[in-house]
A and B are shown apart, each in its own frame.
Chain A
Amino acid sequence: MTVTMLLVGTRKGCFVLESDADRRTWTTRGPYCEGWPVYHAVHDAESGSLYAAAASEWHGAGVWRSGDLGETWELSSEGLGYGEDSELRLSKVSGLLPAHGRLLAGGEGCGVFESRDGARTWSLLSTLDDQPGRDAWNIPANQPPGHLGLPGLLPHPDEADRFWAVIQGFGIFETTDNGGSWTPRNRGLRADWPLDDPEVGYCVHKLVMSPTDTDRLYQQNHVGMHRSDDAGQSWVEITDGLPTEFGFAAAAHPHDRDSFYVIPLDPGHGRTMPDGKAAVWRTHDAGSSWRRLDRGLPQVDAHLGVLREGMAIDSYDVPGLYFGTSTGQVFASADEGESWEEIASYLPAIASVEVAVLA
């Protein structure tokens, strides 16, 4: 039987929500990972393992792994750090990327770590040295509350040595040689603040790629939604038609390169859905127009926040869309966002939602 599995990373551990291919009835199990704050939990389709990037206030950062779909978990941080001789310090590990037979993790500092043994041991792949602005990455005044450092990693599906990293508050960097060298990929982005270097200083919240076109990238930025048609070498803004330019989460349609989902939020301190009315917004034409999707979502006093890893989309012919909120609700749509149901109501604050379809 086909299982649709949601991995939900929360402030108090990882939860697993499961359904069948219809995605109408869901069960919840957890919490896992000993209640550690989980920043990102993922399923590795190649190995079948689950991984959860976590950081305990008491016991530091690590990555939990499960080889039995979440029934049992083990933690390791061996090699997750910059060493005694480095000035860099790692207190959080956040973005996880399983691809091409390995697992990458992004961490504070900032650095990319690699594991080739299923998250038992790690090695430091790159700290992106020599990139413009690198010296400013760890200045406390540049780090907002909840600072994660390097929260985003995006793989190229065909080229193992090519991937993109998002440095919080500084932008996107691409490597084509497995972290040996990097190039800023922020041309065309907007910044509403002074920049020391026009190549960097952009606040990219979430970067996604169309599964049908590796040149088509989308991003939710601190200031606006943006699209790239050349794998990030240049960007155009596609904010017009949305209620706000701010948000964290984004998802690319699995079968249509021109369809993309975002969850606009108020840009002030609240960072919740505008007017207390919950909605996801979708473009079917690469950002030329947007449509509000709110059937089944709460429209009264729904001051919901969704973080950068808080939305996911599955790969069914009619894809399902999912998002988790900072107040512990999970909403699911089995019809590309046309209608929604609340499938969990009382989880801890949610940092991440990922979906896997298991045959």
Chain B
Amino acid sequence: MADVHLPATLPPLFRDLPRHVEVEASTVDGAIAELDARWPGLRDRLCVPGPKLRPHVNVYVDQERAGLETALGAQSRLDVIAAISGG
């Protein structure tokens, strides 16, 4: 099970969505699909058609910058980061 850490901007948008979620997935894209199945619409908050990540959304797998295709191991940590920007 991968351990997914979500940005603080996401839980207010979905009922009962926690900051930390465990998912069974082999890639980042698969993890997002799993989250979307449990919280419909979540994929749209992270991805645009392509599919690719939204411009100010970054993901890291085990502390390394990653993309949708990046593989997840059984014990991987996936961090989803909303880039620090704006004002």
The complex places the Cα of A57 from the Cα of B7 at a distance, in Å, of 14
Binds B, one of A73-81, A277-285, A311-319: A73-81
Categorize the interface residue count of chain A. Answer: 10 to 19
CA gap between A312 and B83 in the complex, in Å: 36
B74 adjacent to chain A (CB < 8 Å)? no
Q: Known contacts A78-B41, A78-B44, A89-B48; decide if A59 and B85 are in contact (CB<8 Å).
A: no
**Smallest beta-carbon distance B81→chain A, Å:** 10
Interface of chain A residues 79 through 109 with chain B (CB within 8 A): 81-84, 86, 89
In the assembled complex, how far is the CB of residue A326 from the closest CB belonging to chain B, in whole angstroms? 16
Structural contact, B46 and A84, CB atoms closer than 8 A: no
Mark each residue of chain A from 39 to 61: 1 if its CB lies under 8 Å from any CB of chain B, else 0. Answer: 00000000000000000111110
Residues of A within 8 A of B44 (CB): 60, 62, 77-78, 81
Chain A residues with Cβ below 8 Å from B46 are 59
Judging by beta carbons under 8 Å apart, are B41 and A34 in contact?
no
User: Taking A34-B12, A75-B13, A83-B49 as contacts, is the C-beta distance between A59 and B54 under 8 angstroms?
Assistant: yes
- One digit per residue, 1 when the CB lies within 8 angstroms of any chain A CB and 0 when it does not, for chain B 14-57 equals 00000000000000000000000000110011101111001011
Contact at A76–B82, with CB atoms within 8 Å? no
Bound-state CA distance A34–B85 (Å) is 16
The B-contacting residues of A in range 286-331, CB under 8 angstroms, are: none
Contact B45 A78 (CB under 8 A): no
Given the interface contacts A76-B41, A78-B44, does A58 sit within 8 Å of B56 by beta carbon? yes
- Provide the residues of chain B in CB contact with A86, threshold 8 Å: 49
Q: For the complex, what is the distance from the CA of A308 to the CA of B29, rounded to whole Å?
A: 40
Instruction: Please determine whether A57 and B56 come into contact, CB atoms closer than 8 angstroms.
Output: yes
Distance A63 CA – B51 CA, assembled complex (angstroms) = 22
Q: A78-B40, A78-B41, A78-B44 are in contact. Are A58 and B54 (CB under 8 A)?
A: yes
Nearest-neighbor residue (CB-CB) of A83 within chain B:
B49
- Contact across chains for A58 and B40 when beta carbons are under 8 A apart: no
Give Cα A81–Cα B45 distance, bound, in whole angstroms: 13
Chain B residues with Cβ under 8 A from A77's Cβ? 41, 44
User: For residue A82, which residues in chain B have a CB less than 8 angstroms away from its CB?
Assistant: 49
For the complex, give the distance between the alpha carbons of A56 and B46 in Å.
11
In the complex, A43 Cα to B49 Cα: how many Å?
31
* Contact partners of B9 in chain A: CB under 8 A: 34, 56, 58-59
Residues of B within 8 A of A84 (CB): 49-51
Min distance, Cβ A70 to any Cβ of chain B, angstroms: 15
Q: A34-B9, A75-B13 are in contact. Are A60 and B48 (CB under 8 A)?
A: yes
Chain A residues whose C-beta falls within 8 Å of the C-beta of B12 in the assembled complex: 34
- CB distance B49 to A81 under 8 Å? yes
Q: Which of B7, B12, B44 has the most CB of A within 10 A?
A: B44
Q: Which single member of B49, B51, B83 contacts A58 (CB below 8 Å)?
A: B83
Which residue in chain B gives the minimum CB-CB distance to A87?
Answer: B49
Please, how many angstroms separate the alpha-carbon atoms of A56 and B9 in the complex? Answer: 10
Within 8 A of B (CB), among A8-63: 34, 56-60, 62
Closest to B85 in A: A57
Q: Which of A221-254 contact B (CB under 8 A)?
A: none
With CB as the reference atom, state the residue of chain A lying closest to B50. Answer: A84
In the complex, what residues of A have CB within 8 A of residue B41's CB?
Answer: 75-78
Q: How far is the CA of A84 from the CA of B40 in the complex (A)?
A: 18
Q: Complex formed: what's the CA distance from A77 to B45 in Å?
A: 9
Contacts of A58 in B (CB 8 A): 7, 9, 45, 54, 56-57, 82-83
A80 to B12 Cα, complex, angstroms = 20
A58 to B40, CA, bound (A): 18
A53: shortest Cβ distance to chain B, in Å? 15
Task: Tell me the complex Cα distance, A124–B31, Å.
Answer: 28
Give 10 closest A-B pairs by Cβ, nearest first. Answer: A59-B45, A58-B82, A84-B49, A58-B56, A34-B12, A77-B44, A75-B13, A57-B86, A57-B56, A58-B9
**22 residue pairs from A and B, CB less than 8 Å apart:** A34-B12, A34-B13, A58-B45, A58-B82, A59-B9, A59-B10, A59-B13, A59-B46, A59-B54, A59-B57, A59-B82, A60-B44, A60-B48, A75-B13, A77-B44, A78-B40, A78-B41, A78-B44, A81-B49, A84-B50, A84-B51, A86-B49
